């Protein structure tokens, strides 16, 4: 680059920082970048829309003198294009010392990688002067500057023609290409939440591959998963097209999933006919989901349990006399605990009945004649008697005793 071009570079950097606002500004930045080797060679091979998308995705980053841009073995988090300044490349010798290799030329792309070979740096780069870089995220680099950029673009075109209603029929190929370049893609792993119920999100989402699940918080027990979404499905229409909060939570349920996102600023590119069809499709899907929610609510609905005291019969015919008495009280307590767990709560009158029964059961230890345990009118009186107890048994036993006629049974 000649020194007379430095002013043009400064102007281009300012336009990129503020985002181009006119066709003339796009053309100016493209002209400046095409003067460089490296990035310029790539830009010359792309058509107009592709160049514009690259410029929209670029970020400006200034790095101070003496800074290690990246060291050998570190992972590139972004791709760098040197625009101004001097950057040296160093290799590591056997002793681990850095040895100068070469100076990086302006326009060179640092951090080129593919999805297959990873993002690990094989060299160390140091800024010997203040440097200005244009940077791209790893995903933007893969879609716009990598060797697979064109195949990724054509995958988007195919997806749009297949899953965007009416687009192929009502828009030109140029307009379709604009939609394709406006689509950004993200890779997600199992369990990743894409949308949350109740939030406002004005982007439109499409599933390229993988599987997502619609989850509703209206279902309070069991599996709250309503339905699974496959490739080609659209979601987020309620916020993006209808302006209402998200009605469902969307979660990735396959190992991985690729999702296309059409940002709200690019929704104007979608034809009105397409938007109307997407709205109608959402209404139809919503009817089916509401029916499914209603079915699940009905399926899990249960009637409240009415407390019924001592409905189970326990027979301790094989136990000793003392053992029967102990087991009888344990059974009584078990019945009360089970009843509490089943009904969820006991009202105050039922609790009072239980308390009086236990107190009388304990008092019956001291009496040889049976004593009635009085309850409310809705509950029958219970009779417990005390059989003879061995004189050798001289410690207090907190247990209940069955009548001699019941043979140790609790009725």
On the 0-12 / 13-18 / 19+ scale of CB atoms within 10 A, 362 is middle
Which stretches within 90-148 are classed as H helix? 138-144
CATH topology of domain 149-300: Jelly Rolls (2.60.120)
The reply to whether 149-300 shares the fold of 3-143 is yes
Query: φ, ψ for residue 181 (rounded to 5)?
Result: -70, -20
Question: What CATH superfamily classification does 3-143 receive?
Answer: Jelly Rolls (2.60.120.10)
Would you list the DSSP string of 161-223? HHHSTTHHHHS-HHHHHHHHHHEEEEEEETT-EEE-TT-----EEEEEES-EEEE-TT--SS-
Return the domain boundaries, the chain. Answer: 3-143, 149-300, 304-411
Query: What is the SS3 assignment for 78?
Result: strand
Q: Give the integer Cα–Cα distance in Å for 383 and 405.
A: 11
HEC profile for 299-331?
HHCCCCCCCCCCCCCECCCCCCHHHHHHHHHHH
From first to last of its 411 residues, what are the pLDDT tens digits of the chain? 445 578 899 999 999 999 888 999 999 999 999 989 889 988 888 888 899 889 999 999 999 999 999 988 888 888 999 999 999 999 988 877 888 989 999 999 988 764 444 578 888 999 999 999 999 988 888 888 887 888 888 999 999 999 998 888 888 888 998 899 889 888 899 989 999 888 888 899 999 999 999 887 654 444 566 788 999 999 999 999 998 998 888 999 999 999 999 998 889 999 999 999 999 888 888 887 777 666 555 544 444 434 444 444 445 555 566 666 666 776 776 666 665 555 544 444 555 555 566 666 556 555 544 444 444 444 444 433 333 333 333 333 333 333 333 333 332
Q: Give the integer Cα–Cα distance in Å for 149 and 187.
A: 16
Residue with token string 């034809």: 271
Q: Give the integer Cα–Cα distance in Å for 93 and 248.
A: 57
Residues, the chain, total?
411
Compute the C-alpha angle 326/331/396, nearest 5°. 25
């Amino acid at each position: 680059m000649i020194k007379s071009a430095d002013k043009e570079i400064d102007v281009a950097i300012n336009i990129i920082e503020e985002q181009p606002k006119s066709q003339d500004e796009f053309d100016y930045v493209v002209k400046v970048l095409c003067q460089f080797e490296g990035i310029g060679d790539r830009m010359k091979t792309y058509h107009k829309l592709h160049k514009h998308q690259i410029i929209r995705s670029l970020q400006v980053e200034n790095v101070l003198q003496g800074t290690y841009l990246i060291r050998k073995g570190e992972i590139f988090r972004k791709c760098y294009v040197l625009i101004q300044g001097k950057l040296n490349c160093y290799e590591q010798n056997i002793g681990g010392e850095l040895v100068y290799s070469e100076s990086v030329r302006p326009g060179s792309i640092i951090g080129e990688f593919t999805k297959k070979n990873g993002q690990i740096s094989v060299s160390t780069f140091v800024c010997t002067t203040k440097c200005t870089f244009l940077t791209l995220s790893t995903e933007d680099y893969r879609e716009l500057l990598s060797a697979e950029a064109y195949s990724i673009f054509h995958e988007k075109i195919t997806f749009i023609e297949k899953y965007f209603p009416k687009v192929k029929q009502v828009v030109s190929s140029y307009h379709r290409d604009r939609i394709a370049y406006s689509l950004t893609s993200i890779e997600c792993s199992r369990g990743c939440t894409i949308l949350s119920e109740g939030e406002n999100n004005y982007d439109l989402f499409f599933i390229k591959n993988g599987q997502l699940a619609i989850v509703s918080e209206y279902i309070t027990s069991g599996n709250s998963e309503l339905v699974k979404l496959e490739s080609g499905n659209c979601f987020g229409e309620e916020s993006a097209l209808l302006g209402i909060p998200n009605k469902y939570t969307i979660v990735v349920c396959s190992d991985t999933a690729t999702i296309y996102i059409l940002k709200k600023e690019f929704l104007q590119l979608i034809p009105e006919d397409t938007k109307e069809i997407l709205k109608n499709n959402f209404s139809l899907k919503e009817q089916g989901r509401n029916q499914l929610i209603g079915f699940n609510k009905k399926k899990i609905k249960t009637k409240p349990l009415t407390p019924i005291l001592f409905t189970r019969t326990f027979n301790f015919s094989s136990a000793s006399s003392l053992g029967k008495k102990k087991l009888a009280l344990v059974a009584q307590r078990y019945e009360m605990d089970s009843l509490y767990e089943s009904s969820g709560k006991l009202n105050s009158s039922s609790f009072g009945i239980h308390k009086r029964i236990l107190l009388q059961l304990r008092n019956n230890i001291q009496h040889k004649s049976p004593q009635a345990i009085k309850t409310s009118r809705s509950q029958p009186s219970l009779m417990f008697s005390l059989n003879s107890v061995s004189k050798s048994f001289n410690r207090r036993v907190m247990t209940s005793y069955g009548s001699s006629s019941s043979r140790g049974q609790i009725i």
